[in-house]
Amino acid sequence: MKAIVGLGNPGARYDATRHNVGWWLVDQLQRHWSASPFQQEDLWFRSTTELDGVGDIWLVKPTVYMNRSGIAVRALVESVDLDLSDLLVVVDDTALDSGQPRFRAKGSAGSHNGLQSVEDALGTQDYPRLRIGVGAVPPGIGQADWVLSEFDDPADEDAVLKLLPHLAEGVEVWAREGIEIAMNRYNISRSSESSED
């Protein structure tokens, strides 16, 4: 079994914000795989499907707020005894240009409160994640205000939306072939089109 968890904030007011691009990708995956409709459970919305050669896939959108994401992720991992290598956490990233993806096998949370919550709850940084660039925080604007706002430049939002079908394929590569293969194929700078670490 594999689980893809898109971090975000619940509620319609947050749907279109930068902080919710993890939910955007999970929604894209639900369409890509024609997975079951999302059903609300205790700490998340869940959609399921099955991939030949992989097994069951859970698509998860936690219903706790971003800075408490770890509560939901830990509950998910414990409920199905999930190996952390079979977990992929999807988040926004202000250190990447809008529409730039970055698969990682592990790593620090940086300034991302959702990843910090997951790290604290799991007691480790050793779990795969996919970061989706939402652009750098402009001078004079707080990070929280930036990620909790909608895209003000249509080109930036379009860059993310156009990336989602491509990343759906990337997530399937992760599910079938592992994080290292996904990193090698999909960690491409959209500005230079050259591989980056």
Mean pLDDT, residues 168-183: 97
Contact 32, 165 (CB under 8 A): yes
Contact 132, 96 (CB under 8 A): yes
180 falls in which pLDDT band (50, 70, 90)?
very high
Range list of β-strands (E), the chain:
2-6, 39-40, 44-51, 55-62, 87-93, 101-104, 129-133
What pLDDT sits at residue 188?
A: 72
**Domains of the chain and any CATH numbers:** 2-186 (3.40.50.1470)
Q: What is the distance, to the nearest Å, from the Cα of residue 106 to the centroid of all Cα atoms in its chain?
A: 14
In this predicted model, what pLDDT tens digit does every residue of 14-48 receive, in sequence order?
999 999 999 999 999 999 999 999 999 999 999 99
Annotated catalytic residue 166: no
To the nearest whole percent, how much of the chain has pLDDT over 90?
A: 91
What pLDDT sits at residue 181?
A: 96
Mean pLDDT, residues 59-63: 98
- DSSP labels for 72-88? HHHHHHHHHT--GGGEE
Residue/partner pairs of 70-75 with CB below 8 Å, 24 or more apart: 70/116, 70/117, 70/118, 70/119, 70/120, 70/121, 70/122, 71/43, 71/117, 71/121, 72/5, 72/43, 72/44, 73/5, 73/118, 73/121, 73/122, 74/118, 74/121, 74/122, 75/42, 75/43
In this predicted model, what pLDDT tens digit does every residue of 103-152 receive, in sequence order?
999 999 888 989 999 999 999 999 999 999 999 999 999 999 999 999 99
Q: What is the distance, to the nearest Å, from the Cα of residue 39 to the centroid of all Cα atoms in its chain?
A: 19
Q: Which of 19, 32, 112, 166 is catalytic?
A: 19
pLDDT at 9 over 80: yes
What pLDDT sits at residue 189?
A: 54
